[in-house]
Structure 1
């Protein structure tokens, strides 16, 4: 049996971020479950064969373990997405208001990429370098 890694994260305004992640980074809704109180209990977003899961920040046992970066004072991990056209993703992300924290560059180890923060502080990395190739 293989292993699949699916990044998970919490957002203060998960509903708004689901829309933003679609506009900025090209994610599509796979499953979105509201919590009945105006938040998101669980969401699955896909981009090609990649998936992320997210939900609203909340004060419960799991919510205290996983908090938005702003609540922690910084990012503790980030995702790297292999994309065929990092220039196009960069343009879309920038137009949607992503904070570009590392500019689009050609890397010494191969590929081209950049890093950006979403409006709630999660760090995202996009590049054409494919470690599996």
Structure 2
């Protein structure tokens, strides 16, 4: 099976307090593209899918429900996360400059990685932690 032609099989899911603004920011700052955006009746987002190359994230507005009670926003747990996304960005330096110009809070500036490539880590407009890098583990797998 050619993994390079497959779509991502693991799709991170995220919640945002102002999901409509987050969608616009994620597209402007990180280069995501809108694949599907479903508004809810309250002006928020019931479900959205954003793509980056052959990868995707799904997001919605912070809310209740059974699943919502299992999730915490970074501002509810001291700015921490229990997981974060790594996104392959072939031109990591240009991606870093774009994200920084859009107001991403840099936690780790762009640098060469010990395992190959270049990468950086930042927070988005609501405090979620993201890592971007040129290292492609699919190209380096045995």
Q: Report the TM-score when normalising by structure 1.
A: 0.95
Offset of residue 102 of structure 1: 0.5
TM superposition shift of 1:132: 1.3
Residue in structure 2 matched with residue 75 of structure 1 by the alignment: 81
For 2:35 and 2:52, locate their aligned partners in 1 and report how far apart those are by CA, in whole Å. Answer: 10
Residue among 96, 100, 105 paired with 1:94: 100
| Consecutive unaligned residues in structure 2, runs of 5 or more | none
RMSD, aligned CA: 1.5
1:45–1:51 CA contact under 8 A, matched in 2: yes
Residue aligned with 2:57, SS: strand
Separation in structure 1 between the aligned mates of residue 48 and residue 72 of structure 2, nearest angstrom: 16
In the superposition, the TM-score normalised over structure 2's length comes to 0.89
| Alpha-carbon distance, 1:72 to partner | 2.7
Unaligned ranges ≥5, structure 1: none
Contact 1:94 1:100 (C-alpha < 8 Å) held by counterparts = yes
Distance 1:72 1:62 in 2: 17
- Report the equivalent of 1:57: 62
Q: Which runs of 4+ in 1 moved over 2 A?
A: none
The CA distance in 2 between the partners of 1:5 and 1:72, in whole Å, is: 25
